[in-house]
């Protein structure tokens, strides 16, 4: 499995069509999706999964308002449940010759919290649409629960992968064997607990991310009275004692978590409610997405935003750092990494090759 910062052929998105994950904020979320597309098309193709004709009309309308150019946008009519592409989309691996395989891991909506029958078939359906080979894997795994350095090391959490709501029949050794066999890793690093407000049982993409072969950024909390403080300190302690696949110690960079972010209203998922404040959402700077030309970084209208931007600039000096307010998006309990999934570059496509339907921003041009 290549590292996220390695060259992409494209990014996959699933356009939202069900407002239950963003009650009261759905229209704002559609505008955020269009902004994501606008930023990504500068550096790579974007494949957008479209549920039905109504969703297609809504997507085109929003992208037109966002001044999306459209030449690199491809729409694919595949029925789906929700829009968390990182978790229901394919995990794409490739061999030394650049040949890709779309892996279709089992998916159960984070332990059966939502319906998932359509999303569980997404990787194979998209692979067929794109003319790519696919392979079924008989273990539940979401893309947000792992991160790799592209050299043979994978990082994950005990909180998620060892949770009995995923693979109760598998031992830790069994799970590690699946990761080695299908993702080509040989060194698996385990963190502990996840972030407050997370409904995924502790996805690692809200905690710690590789930004280089031996470099990890991780979030910390500086308030000893905050519930995140102790688990984050434990994760930091573990990271500082970890090594890469060649036995070299990791370089660990820290980003201070923003102050707790609360949203009032009807909770879209299982979440912790604080009287007088609302529901705490998993506000994390670690949920960034590294695209070919830019890095989409969630920010929170917090004084810590500027420091997070500076750290990502140092990690990715050749890319634009794009800070986008994620408070409305994360009312659905995920951010930019959760809604994207990369297709790593493989062989060079022949001139004029296209797949899917190129986006027509104006009906007269279609």
CATH number for the domain spanning 42: value is 3.75.10.10
Domain count, the chain: 1
Asked if residue 2 belongs to a domain, the reply is no
Q: Biggest alpha carbon distance in the chain?
A: 60
pLDDT band at 24 (very low <50, low <70, confident <90, very high): confident
Note whether 180 and 216 are within 8 A (CB): no
Q: At what angle do helices 53-65 and 26-40 cross, to 10 degrees?
A: 70
Element (H, E) at 155: strand 153-157
Rounded to two decimals, the pTM is 0.93
Residue 127's pLDDT is 97
Question: 102-126: per-residue pLDDT in tens?
Answer: 999 999 999 999 999 999 999 999 9
Structure tokens at 282: 């998993």
Residue 359 within any structural domain of the chain: yes
Q: Which residues are catalytic?
A: 338
Question: Does 1 fall in a domain?
Answer: no
Q: What pLDDT, in 10s, does the model give residues 40-71?
A: 999 999 999 999 999 999 999 999 999 999 99
Q: How far apart are CA 187 and CA 184, in angstroms?
A: 10
Exposed, middle or buried by CB within 10 Å (0-12, 13-18, 19+), for 47? buried
Given this model, what pLDDT does residue 362 score?
40
Strand order of the β-sheet with 278-281 is 261-263, 278-281, 273-274
Which range marks the domain in which residue 99 is found?
8-365
Tens of pLDDT, residues 208-218 = 999 999 999 99
Tokens read off for 353? 């090759």
Residue 196 lies in a domain: yes
What mean pLDDT do residues 272-294 have? 86
Query: Cα angle vertex 209, ends 205, 210, to 5°?
Result: 145
Residue 3 lies in a domain: no
Report the distance separating Cα 85 and Cα 336, nearest Å: 10
Sequence-distant (≥ 6) Cβ neighbours of residue 80 within 8 angstroms? 14, 17, 49, 51, 88, 118, 119, 122
Do strands 294-299 and 289-290 pair parallel, antiparallel, or not at all (unpaired)? antiparallel
Residues 74-87: b if buried by 16+ CB within 10 A, e if exposed: bbbebbbbbbbbbb
Task: Report the distance separating Cα 313 and Cα 321, nearest Å.
Answer: 6
């Amino acid at each position: 499995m290549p590292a996220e910062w390695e060259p992409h052929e494209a990014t996959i998105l699933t356009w939202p069509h069900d407002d239950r994950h963003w009650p009261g904020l759905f229209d704002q979320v559609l505008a955020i999706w269009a902004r994501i597309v606008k930023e990504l098309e500068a550096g790579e193709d974007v494949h957008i999964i479209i549920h039905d004709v109504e969703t297609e009309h809504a997507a085109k309308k929003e992208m037109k308002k966002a001044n999306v150019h459209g030449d690199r946008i491809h729409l694919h009519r595949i029925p789906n449940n929700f829009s968390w592409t990182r978790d229901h989309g394919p995990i794409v691996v490739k061999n030394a010759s650049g040949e890709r395989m779309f892996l279709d891991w089992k998916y159960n909506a984070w332990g059966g919290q939502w319906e998932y029958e359509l999303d569980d078939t997404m990787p194979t359906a998209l692979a067929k649409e794109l003319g790519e080979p696919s392979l079924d894997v008989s273990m539940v795994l979401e893309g947000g629960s792992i991160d790799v350095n592209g050299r043979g090391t994978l990082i994950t959490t005990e909180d998620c992968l060892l949770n009995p709501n995923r693979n109760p029949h598998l031992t830790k050794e069994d799970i590690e064997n699946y990761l080695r066999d299908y993702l080509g890793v040989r060194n698996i690093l385990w963190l502990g607990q996840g972030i407050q407000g997370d409904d995924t049982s502790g996805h690692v993409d809200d905690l710690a991310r590789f930004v280089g072969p031996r470099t990890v950024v991780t979030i910390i909390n500086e308030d000893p009275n905050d519930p995140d403080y102790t688990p984050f300190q434990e994760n930091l302690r573990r990271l500082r004692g970890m090594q890469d696949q060649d036995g070299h110690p990791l370089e660990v960079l820290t980003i201070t978590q923003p102050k707790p972010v609360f949203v009032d209203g009807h909770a879209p998922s299982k979440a912790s409610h604080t009287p007088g404040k609302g529901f705490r959402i998993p506000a994390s700077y670690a949920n960034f997405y590294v695209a070919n030309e830019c890095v989409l970084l969630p920010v929170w209208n917090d004084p810590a935003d500027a420091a997070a931007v500076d750290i990502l600039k140092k990690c990715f000096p050749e890319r634009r750092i794009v800070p986008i307010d994620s408070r409305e998006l994360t009312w659905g309990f995920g951010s930019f990494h959760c809604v994207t999934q990369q297709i790593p570059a493989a062989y060079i496509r022949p001139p004029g090759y296209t797949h899917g339907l190129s986006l027509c921003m104006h009906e007269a041009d279609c």
